Amino acid sequence: MNEYLALELIRQRTTERYEEARRASLVHRLRLARRQRNRDKALVRRPVPDYVDGTFAAVPEQAEAKTVEAVR
């Protein structure tokens, strides 16, 4: 086989492999981004009601004031 022909075939195949690797990397990054987005959405879901009728327990004013002071 002519050496120039062999070099050209190697160059083309190398270019194809780099392109396949780039696509695979993009797919991998997209999958990771989708998983992270799903995790973020899971944290923002609606709270579960405290009672069967769908209401939430009232929080006393004193408990709210203590948590604010503790955060500071």
pLDDT tens for the chain, 72 residues long, are 789 999 999 999 999 999 999 999 998 998 999 888 887 777 666 777 778 787 777 776 655 555 555 554
Domain carrying residue 11: 3-71
Domain count, the chain: 1
pLDDT of residue 64: 56
Q: What does the angle CA 35 – CA 48 – CA 61 come to, to the nearest 5 degrees?
A: 120
DSSP the chain: --HHHHHHHHHHHHHHHHHHHHHHHHHHHHHHHHHHHHHHHHHTSPPPPSSTTS--PPPPHHHHHHHHHHH-
pLDDT of residue 69: 52
